[in-house]
């Protein structure tokens, strides 16, 4: 892994995850030598080392880690030291079988993989904190340690546990939330299907049931489960804060289809936001998913710079077909994260494992050794990051916000809804893709974020929304903003209760429309609009109630019914998209929205060329990432930092290359 140099610009910081425990000690010195060659300046150490650090309960063996940290320090390489609690050793489950997690059907998840613990287990909590105490006690003042890494990807494999320990913890969480059973019965709508609870002990997690499980019970269990994982982060961090002075982080997984951790709520519990991201190999446009993840991570970080804690130099091993990165892709990927606010890029893993579950995962040093495309590109990236030292600490320009809420995601994908084809991230990705193609950068933020600085706000599929957040969007438009809301938004409150009086409930007044009935489409069925657009999945019987009609259906179940509307509200306008537009129609819609809101791309660029601007006061840097197979010319004036060349008005970026221009001040 790698980090951009300090703002003094003297050193590049480059970071990897080191797993010295997998290798004989003779290899360690070569590791240091190769790291120095590649410009690596920070390594994460000890993430899955609990079983080695505490081979039997209460007996710690730190000798090997002492030597590793000393070697790294002597080599001038800094350390992001793990608390090592990510995966308990097998002895814990043997001594305390009740610490093992259970699925909804009662299946026990045994040791032999990783993260085999119940997140609510007091035994796990106690033993893990003992380990944190021991590790922090030993290394708090080690000169190599510059950062602490709590656990690893909390909730990746064990976020939902349905065991009796979890059931008891869930009841405690519900008591906190509702105070009494009347509150809970009301929120869960238990008058339906004879579900009324008369005693807390009757309540369980939503274990496997005969018919559709109560939706609010499911929603609360999802909230509880995210909170339980967060509680582990908080407990470790709290303890660390009494013992160490370095910043504390844990690696989030924003943007990887990871649905179950509400990172917006976790962000205050880390000193800096760090994130893991892996490309979806099956997606030929995977650079869009990367950009979305990065923009969302920045949103989670409140716009501050963040750290890419993990990505891969080439293929992973856990997708069905693990496509390797083509020459140049590693650099484009890494620098796209930097363009979007990462102050450092780190990789899993340093040296490709020769055994174990991830032996076919790429690394900085492949099985074939350093004389490889991967290691050469790693060295090139190290040099590039050094040249970008001055960018560190700057922020990213974005005039567009996309609202995102993990609770809305949980809510919209509960069972027995009008159509299984309505998924949460579908419209997010569609709108984001259209912006990306237009060269427009967006912040992906929680609906409670301050929207006043944005020219355009998009609300894709915001099914569940709080009154206060819906009101904030209304005020934003009233004050002159432009907003667009897509179908199946504003439907329920935070208890998943329908907002009555017509859809889209919470946004009816803002949008100036009232829908009386949904008309989801059959699988594969398409409809046409009178502006030439094609759509599928969703239509609805919508009545304008103050909004002007921009397009109506010409066929399908609702010919003549409006599909796209615009409502003037105060000094602004609110658009409603009542159907699932295809890509060309979404591109046209976004072009109109961007135009109406006065949003400009970071620079005019041909399709397939990513342009993003970072800014620090008056100083700006234009990142240009050419994903195409042709050379492109972009208007820019300043110094291109990767080559040192001046560009006076026009920048030439060869096929597949990246350029970063420190722009002349105008």
Active site residues: 153, 310
Contact criterion met (CB below 8 Å) for 337 and 301: no
Question: Least distance (Å) from ligand GLA to the CB of residue 256?
Answer: 9
Using CB under 6 A, pick the residue from 316, 403, 577, 609 that binds ligand GLA.
316
- Which residue's CB is nearer to ligand GLA, number 356 or number 453? 356
Helices (H), 244-319: 263-266, 286-300
* Residue in this structure with the two tokens 């600490």, named with its chain if needed: 393
- Which residue's CB is nearer to ligand GLA, number 155 or number 411? 155
Near ligand GLA in 238-277, by CB under 6 A: 276
Size of the site for ligand GLA (CB under 6 A): 9
- Which residue's CB is nearer to ligand GLA, number 361 or number 474? 361
User: Any idea what DSSP says for residue 64?
Assistant: H
Question: Least distance (Å) from ligand GLA to the CB of residue 86?
Answer: 8
Contact criterion met (CB below 8 Å) for 431 and 487: no
- Which residue's CB is nearer to ligand GLA, number 275 or number 626? 275
Near ligand GLA in 10-29, by CB under 6 A: none
Q: How many residues does the chain have?
A: 666
- Which residue's CB is nearer to ligand GLA, number 153 or number 377? 153
Near ligand GLA in 137-176, by CB under 6 A: 152-153
252's tokens? 């989030």
User: Any idea what DSSP says for residue 51?
Assistant: H
Stated as kind and residue range, the H or E segment containing 444 is: strand 442-445
Sign for the pseudo-dihedral over CA of 541, 550, 424, 426: positive
* Residue in this structure with the two tokens 């790294």, named with its chain if needed: 72
- Which residue's CB is nearer to ligand GLA, number 41 or number 250? 250
Contact criterion met (CB below 8 Å) for 396 and 612: yes
CA distance 225 to 237: 19
Using CB under 6 A, pick the residue from 224, 347, 348, 463 that binds ligand GLA.
348
CA distance 20 to 663: 42
* 538 lies in the binding site for ligand GLA (CB under 6 A): no
- Which residue's CB is nearer to ligand GLA, number 316 or number 408? 316
Question: Least distance (Å) from ligand GLA to the CB of residue 318?
Answer: 6
Contact criterion met (CB below 8 Å) for 155 and 261: yes
Near ligand GLA in 352-371, by CB under 6 A: 358, 361
Task: Please give, one letter per residue, the 3-state secondary structure of 283-347.
Answer: CCCHHHHHHHHHHHHHHHCCCCCEEEEECCCCCCCCCCCCCCCCCCHHHHHHHHHHHCCEEEEEE
User: Any idea what DSSP says for residue 108?
Assistant: B
Question: Least distance (Å) from ligand GLA to the CB of residue 317?
Answer: 7
Contact criterion met (CB below 8 Å) for 505 and 499: yes
Question: Least distance (Å) from ligand GLA to the CB of residue 311?
Answer: 9
Question: Least distance (Å) from ligand GLA to the CB of residue 153?
Answer: 5
Please tell me the number of Cα atoms within 13 Å of 47 on its side-chain side: 23
CA distance 282 to 317: 13
Near ligand GLA in 457-486, by CB under 6 A: none
- Which residue's CB is nearer to ligand GLA, number 363 or number 622? 363
Rounded to 5°, angle at Cα 92 from 90 and 97: 100
The binding track of 296-315 with respect to ligand GLA, each residue x by CB under 6 A or -, is --------------x-----
CA distance 278 to 274: 14
Sign for the pseudo-dihedral over CA of 302, 306, 309, 315: positive
Question: Least distance (Å) from ligand GLA to the CB of residue 428?
Answer: 22
Question: Least distance (Å) from ligand GLA to the CB of residue 253?
Answer: 7
Contacts of 440 (CB under 8 A, 6+ apart): 399, 400, 590, 594, 599, 600, 601, 602
- Torsion angle of C-alpha atoms 360, 361, 363, 367, degrees rounded to 10: 0
- Which residue's CB is nearer to ligand GLA, number 348 or number 553? 348
Question: Least distance (Å) from ligand GLA to the CB of residue 339?
Answer: 22
Strands (E), 88-160: 145-149
Residue 180 dihedral angles phi and psi, to the nearest 5° = -135, 170
- Which residue's CB is nearer to ligand GLA, number 278 or number 454? 278
Contact criterion met (CB below 8 Å) for 272 and 392: no
CB closest to ligand GLA, residue no: 276
Question: Least distance (Å) from ligand GLA to the CB of residue 196?
Answer: 43
* Residue in this structure with the two tokens 């030929």, named with its chain if needed: 284
> Around Cβ 480, how many Cβ atoms within 10 Å?
14
Near ligand GLA in 211-230, by CB under 6 A: none
Enumerate binding residues for ligand GLA (CB under 6 A).
152-153, 276, 278, 310, 316, 348, 358, 361
């Amino acid at each position: 892994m790698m980090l951009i140099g300090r703002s003094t610009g003297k050193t590049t910081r480059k970071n990897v995850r080191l797993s010295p425990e997998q290798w004989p000690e003779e290899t360690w010195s070569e590791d240091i030598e190769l790291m120095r060659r590649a410009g690596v300046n920070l390594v994460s150490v000890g993430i899955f080392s609990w079983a080695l650090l505490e081979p039997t309960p209460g007996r710690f063996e730190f000798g090997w880690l002492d030597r590793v940290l000393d070697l790294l320090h002597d080599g001038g390489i800094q350390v992001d030291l793990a608390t090592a609690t990510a995966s308990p050793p097998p002895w814990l489950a043997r001594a305390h079988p009740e610490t093992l997690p259970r699925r909804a059907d009662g299946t026990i998840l045994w040791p032999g993989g990783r993260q085999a613990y119940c997140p609510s287990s007091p035994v796990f909590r106690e033993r893990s904190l003992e380990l944190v105490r021991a590790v922090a006690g030993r290394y708090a003042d080690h000169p190599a340690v510059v950062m602490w890494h709590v656990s690893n990807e909390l909730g990746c494999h064990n976020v939902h546990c349905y065991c009796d320990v979890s059931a008891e913890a869930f009841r405690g969480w519900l008591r906190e939330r509702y105070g009494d059973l009347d509150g809970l019965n009301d929120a869960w709508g238990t008058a339906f299907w004879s579900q009324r609870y008369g005693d807390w002990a009757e309540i369980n997690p939503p274990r496997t049931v005969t018919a559709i499980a109560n939706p609010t019970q499911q929603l609360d269990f999802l909230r509880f489960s995210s909170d339980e994982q967060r509680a582990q982060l908080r407990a470790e961090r709290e303890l660390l804060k009494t013992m160490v002075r370095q910043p504390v982080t844990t690696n989030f997984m924003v943007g990887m289809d990871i649905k179950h951790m509400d990172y917006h709520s976790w962000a205050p519990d880390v000193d800096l936001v760090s994130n893991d991201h892996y490309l979806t190999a099956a997606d030929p446009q995977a650079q869009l998913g990367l950009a979305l993840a990065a923009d969302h991570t920045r949103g989670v970080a409140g716009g501050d710079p963040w750290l890419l804690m993990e990505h891969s130099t080439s293929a992973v091993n856990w997708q069905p077909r693990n496509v390797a990165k083509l020459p140049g892709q590693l650099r484009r990927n890494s620098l796209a994260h930097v363009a979007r606010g990462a102050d450092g890029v780190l990789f899993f893993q340093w040296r490709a494992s020769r055994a174990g579950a991830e032996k076919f995962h790429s690394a900085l040093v492949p099985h074939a050794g350093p004389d490889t495309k991967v290691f050469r590109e790693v060295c090139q990236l190290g040099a590039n990051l050094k040249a970008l030292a001055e960018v560190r600490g700057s922020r990213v320009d974005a005039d567009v916000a996309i609202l995102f809420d993990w609770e809305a995601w949980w809510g919209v994908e509960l069972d027995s809804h009008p159509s299984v084809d309505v998924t949460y991230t579908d419209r997010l990705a569609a709108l984001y893709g259209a912006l990306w193609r237009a060269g427009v950068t967006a912040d992906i933020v929680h609906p409670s974020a301050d929207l006043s600085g944005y020219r355009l706000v998009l609300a894709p599929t915001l099914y569940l929304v709080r009154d206060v957040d819906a009101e904030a969007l209304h005020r934003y438009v009233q004050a002159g903003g432009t907003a667009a809301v897509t179908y199946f938004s504003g439907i329920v409150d935070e208890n998943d209760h329908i907002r009555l009086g017509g859809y889209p409930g919470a946004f009816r007044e803002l949008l100036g429309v009232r829908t009386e009935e949904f008309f989801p489409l059959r699988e594969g069925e398409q409809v046409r609009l009178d502006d030439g657009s094609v759509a599928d999945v969703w239509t609805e019987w919508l009545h304008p109630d103050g909004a002007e009609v921009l397009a109506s259906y010409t066929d399908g179940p609702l010919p003549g019914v409006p599909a796209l509307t615009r409502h003037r509200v105060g000094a602004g306008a609110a658009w409603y998209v009542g159907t699932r537009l295809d890509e060309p129609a979404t591109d046209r819609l976004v072009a109109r929205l961007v135009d109406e809101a006065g949003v400009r791309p970071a620079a005019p660029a041909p399709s397939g060329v990513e342009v993003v601007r970072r800014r620090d006061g008056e100083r700006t840097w234009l990142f240009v990432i050419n994903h195409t197979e042709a050379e492109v010319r972009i208007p820019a004036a300043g110094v291109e930092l990767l080559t040192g060349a001046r560009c006076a008005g026009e920048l030439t970026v060869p096929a597949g290359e990246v350029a970063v221009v420190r722009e002349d001040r105008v």
